[in-house]
Amino acid sequence: MNLELPLITDGQVEILLTDLLEHYGYDFTGYSKASIKRRILRLYSLDKALSFAEFRYRINNDTFYFKRFVEQITVNVTEMFRDPLFFKTLREVVLPKLGTYPFIRIWLAGCSTGEEAYSISIILKELNLLHKSLIYATDLNPIVLEKASQGMFAMSQMKQYSENYILSGGVNDFSSYYTANYSLAKFNDELKSKLIFSTHNLVSDHSFNEFQLILCRNVLIYFDRDLQHKVLSLFDDSLEGLGYLALGTKETLDFSPISPNYKRIPAEKIWRKVS
């Protein structure tokens, strides 16, 4: 039986996070510790680091490796139309309300590789609202944004995404939105026409516009309570009156100082700013 001692201690995780802040200005100190430690350990094993010292040296001195580090310690798992019932509510309740505005501004914070951004584009197009919408899709990580802007996703996922799309209330042929290119599905350029991908770090960057809908799903779970409150205030500052804020299935506004100003749509993790 092969029992090895843990490779990295909590103290060493703190050292790495302090380095990142001091050398690169990336602040991960408000992230949930168990999750980020697992991500770091995963990368440490994956890249077969020889020692903590070597691993640390590389992150601090090799810019390419630093980029890999940031990409790998953040979670970039996402799907098109993930949680189809959520997207059904967007389609049937939220976006039709916003459709009465002359212009719709949406912020998708923590967009990762873009699957949700294209999902929203598809719904807007079907509601005939895409032409008067702009979707700002942001992430702290330039590598995933590069991928997002290409609009190409694995062909092997399309069956699942098509099922999600139908469950979310989609009635078209899902395959009409992309062309198959070997192992990749390339989504139609029209869907990209109203998407603006750009870097934004929720921890350190400020509000950059006012929106009628902000979506940030499965990002706050990685933050500690203080950071969650700070980011929710940032969203509050960036949301117009009567605008909507959408969070992930297991996330909530309940414990936040901004919650008295919001009214929840029953059964969904969507809140409307009422004052």
Residues that bind another protein (CB under 8 A): 1, 3-6, 10, 32-35, 38-39, 75, 77, 218, 221-222, 224-225, 228, 248-252
Q: How far is the CB of 75 from another protein (least distance, A)?
A: 5
Which lies closer to another protein via its Cβ, residue 4 or residue 173?
A: 4
- Residue 16, classified by CB atoms within 10 Å of its CB into exposed (0-12), middle (13-18) or buried (19+), is buried
Q: Are strands 184-187 and 152-154 parallel, antiparallel or unpaired?
A: antiparallel
Which lies closer to another protein via its Cβ, residue 105 or residue 269?
A: 269
Which lies closer to another protein via its Cβ, residue 212 or residue 228?
A: 228
Structure tokens at 67: 């980029």
Q: How far is the CB of 76 from another protein (least distance, A)?
A: 9
Which lies closer to another protein via its Cβ, residue 186 or residue 230?
A: 230
Cβ atoms of residues 92 and 169 within 8 Å = yes
Which lies closer to another protein via its Cβ, residue 149 or residue 252?
A: 252
Beta-strand runs (E) in the chain: 104-109, 133-139, 152-154, 178-181, 184-187, 195-199, 211-216, 239-247, 262-264, 270-273
CA distance 237 to 1: 55
Q: How far is the CB of 117 from another protein (least distance, A)?
A: 17
Angle in degrees, CA 124, 273, 269, rounded to 5: 65
CA distance 80 to 89: 15
